[in-house]
Structure 1
Amino acid sequence: MAVDTLLRRITDHTNRADPYPLYAELREAGVVRQTDGSYLVGTYHDIVALLHDPRVSSDQRNRAAPYRGIAPEEGQQPPAFIRRDDPEHHRLRSMAMRPFGPPHSPHRIDAMRGEILRITEELIAPLKGRARIDIVDDFAYPLPVTVICRLLGVPREDEPVFREWSTTVIDSIDIGPGEDPGKRETVGEQARHEMGRYLVGLAEQRRGGSGDDMLSAFVNDPGPPGELTREELAATSALLLIAGHETTVNLITNGVLTLLRHPDQLDLLRREPALLPSAVEELLRYEPPVHMLPRTPLAPLDIAGTTIPQGAPLVLVLASGSRDPRRFRDPDRFHPARPDNQHLGFGSGIHSCYGAPLARIEAQIALGALASRLTTATLVEDPPPYRNSAILRGPRHLHVEW
């Protein structure tokens, strides 16, 4: 089959359960031009080089022509900082990071360990008497959205509506084969707007107060760059929920699936819980929550003997790079104690995942709490049903009997 159909085959839902043979084909072919005009890159070192290249843009507005490809075009709202380039990206990311992590708030995420553990136990407790559960709906989906609500300072009575908004937004980008995306995207855009308006209103209520949540910090401790505009505050706060939520759901769900497929490694983690941080890093390499990133060259680029024109859609297949045998020994083996594991699970360069520290802690606590309870668990269906998205790849349901 012609190599120029690779993206079509990768995004074909029938290959969602196991895209890795197609990634091997991509690495063998090198940089591959597709029939839709996009270029695929799947080797580790080329991906890293492009993620660190200032001539490669994250802003969809730099494309030579509209391109739906692997992701919908931006809506009417201003793009969040992950979809902008420096210097605007740096300004907005710095302002968003100030109340989130180092250097200004180095202890915020680590201080949430106790709260994350309590939320985890609250979600697991009602599952103990059931013979069958859905890891996604019963655990992996509600955990991160609850954590992010607590982080932002959303009142607990408002958390259910936040979950509804999150579900609507995620569904709007999880378009099925042959489905008209227009209606879902319109509904998703409306949910983003409502969420942003709510978060801005909540932040304004905290202005002048002494709250320790992130919304309070955004309006009361803006730092040297100045204060976020209402639109920037809405986009940044919504990004925390949407981007951080869906990726963590997939990380936890893919983690449970992988451990149940490797009972010897599950047993190892039960006996040696100190390996959990390393195991999470290996899961980010072996079964990552994000498989591809769209980019755009700001100038012609020569990659592996292929010239990619300025403005052409560029697709970096991170999950392929993280299984590149030229970078990782025995890459198709799940090895929780793998050394030198500089995977691409959170990207690399200036756009490396903003929420990575929080996702790591959530996954470590979640998988640690589940490990002892998965002793006799079995998968009801393997492979499980997957979401439509080839970018944010993960099971839609993961039914287990325990």
Structure 2
Amino acid sequence: MSRHPEQMAQVRQDPPLLPATNRRDTALHPPVQLVPRQAERDAVFAGSTVPAGATVFCLIGAADRDPDAFAAPDTFDIPRPDPATARSFTAAAQHLAFGSGLHQCVGAAFARAESETVAAMLLSLLDQLRYTPGVPYRETGLYTRGRASLNVDFSPARSSPGPH
């Protein structure tokens, strides 16, 4: 959200938008980038045959950026009509950030709860939260991916008026 201060302000004003924000961030920066799978039988993809027993690497980190499946896939916009936020961290999710079906990450629900709780706390405690100017944003990792560091500037949130 810190790259989109107008949307951060919107979430501060309307905290129930936090799950949609979390879902959108996960779509743009999924924790898992690729998963290996072994072909059970010969399969043809785009005219090429993958023989039975071959290992293939599914680039699931790119799945949420497919313009044939999602409108404006590279845009951070909350709320957006796709996919359903309520099921975004479940085995029925339309995206693959935490796998799907039998391959759903067992920690997906915990990751959602943890990230939304921390974000809610930070939004209430830190005012004018933004990336530190001049420090480049960088992600790292091949299988799993995350921010190399998170350098931010902020002001403490003003306390509410009243007796101290």
Counterpart of 2:129 (choices 377, 382, 393) is 377
Specify the SS of the correspondent of 2:26: helix
- Partner amino acid, structure 1, of 2:149: H
What is the alpha-carbon distance in structure 2 between the residues aligned to residue 293 and residue 383 of structure 1? Answer: 28
Counterpart position of 2:139? 386
What is the alpha-carbon distance in structure 2 between the residues aligned to residue 385 and residue 329 of structure 1? Answer: 25
Q: 1:377–1:278: structure 2 CA closer, same or farther, 3 Å change rule?
A: closer
Counterpart position of 1:294? 36
Counterpart position of 1:328? 70
Counterpart position of 2:17? 275
- Partner amino acid, structure 1, of 2:46: A
Deviations 1:84-134 (A, max 9, x none): xxxxxxxxxxxxxxxxxxxxxxxxxxxxxxxxxxxxxxxxxxxxxxxxxxx
Q: Is the 8 A contact 1:280 1:336 kept in 2?
A: no
Counterpart position of 2:6? 264
**Residue 368, structure 1, aligned to residue 120, structure 2:** yes
Structure 1 position 313, deviation (Å): 2.2
- Partner amino acid, structure 2, of 1:398: L
Counterpart of 1:347 (choices 99, 104, 116) is 99
TM-score, normalising length from structure 1?
A: 0.34
Q: 1:314–1:278: structure 2 CA closer, same or farther, 3 Å change rule?
A: same
Q: Is the 8 A contact 1:286 1:322 kept in 2?
A: yes
What is the alpha-carbon distance in structure 1 between the residues aligned to residue 136 and residue 53 of structure 2? Answer: 38
Q: 1:374–1:319: structure 2 CA closer, same or farther, 3 Å change rule?
A: farther
CA RMSD of aligned residues (A): 1.6
Structure 1 position 334, deviation (Å): 0.8
Query: Aligned pairs, how many?
Result: 143
Q: Is the 8 A contact 1:284 1:343 kept in 2?
A: no
What is the alpha-carbon distance in structure 1 between the residues aligned to residue 63 and residue 109 of structure 2? Answer: 22
Structure 1 position 372, deviation (Å): 2.9
Q: Is the 8 A contact 2:39 2:51 kept in 1?
A: yes
Specify the SS of the correspondent of 2:2: helix
Specify the SS of the correspondent of 2:37: strand
**Residue 401, structure 1, aligned to residue 143, structure 2:** no
Structure 1 position 382, deviation (Å): 4.3
Q: Is the 8 A contact 2:135 2:151 kept in 1?
A: no
Larger radius of gyration: 1
Specify the SS of the correspondent of 1:298: coil
Counterpart position of 2:87? none
What is the alpha-carbon distance in structure 1 between the residues aligned to residue 13 and residue 99 of structure 2? Answer: 31
- Partner amino acid, structure 2, of 1:361: A
Equivalent pairs: percent with the same residue?
A: 36
What is the alpha-carbon distance in structure 2 between the residues aligned to residue 287 and residue 264 of structure 1? Answer: 20
What is the alpha-carbon distance in structure 2 between the residues aligned to residue 339 and residue 286 of structure 1? Answer: 16
Deviations 1:146-198 (A, max 9, x none): xxxxxxxxxxxxxxxxxxxxxxxxxxxxxxxxxxxxxxxxxxxxxxxxxxxxx
What is the alpha-carbon distance in structure 2 between the residues aligned to residue 385 and residue 337 of structure 1? Answer: 26
Q: Is the 8 A contact 1:290 1:319 kept in 2?
A: yes
Select the structure that is richer in helix.
1
Unaligned runs of 5+ in 1: 1-258
Specify the SS of the correspondent of 1:260: coil
Select the structure that is richer in strand.
2
Structure 1 position 349, deviation (Å): 2.3
Counterpart position of 1:312? 54
What is the alpha-carbon distance in structure 2 between the residues aligned to residue 374 and residue 318 of structure 1? Answer: 33
Deviations 1:135-155 (A, max 9, x none): xxxxxxxxxxxxxxxxxxxxx
Structure 1 position 396, deviation (Å): 2.2
Structure 1 position 287, deviation (Å): 1.4
What is the alpha-carbon distance in structure 1 between the residues aligned to residue 44 and residue 108 of structure 2? Answer: 31
Counterpart position of 1:338? 80
What is the alpha-carbon distance in structure 2 between the residues aligned to residue 378 and residue 334 of structure 1? Answer: 16
Structure 1 position 385, deviation (Å): 4.3
Q: 1:279–1:377: structure 2 CA closer, same or farther, 3 Å change rule?
A: closer
Structure 1 position 300, deviation (Å): 1.1
What is the alpha-carbon distance in structure 2 between the residues aligned to residue 301 and residue 283 of structure 1? Answer: 33
- Partner amino acid, structure 2, of 1:290: V
Specify the SS of the correspondent of 1:376: strand
- Partner amino acid, structure 2, of 1:368: A
Specify the SS of the correspondent of 1:350: helix
What is the alpha-carbon distance in structure 2 between the residues aligned to residue 386 and residue 279 of structure 1? Answer: 19
Unaligned runs of 5+ in 2: 84-93, 155-164
What is the alpha-carbon distance in structure 1 between the residues aligned to residue 72 and residue 118 of structure 2? Answer: 27
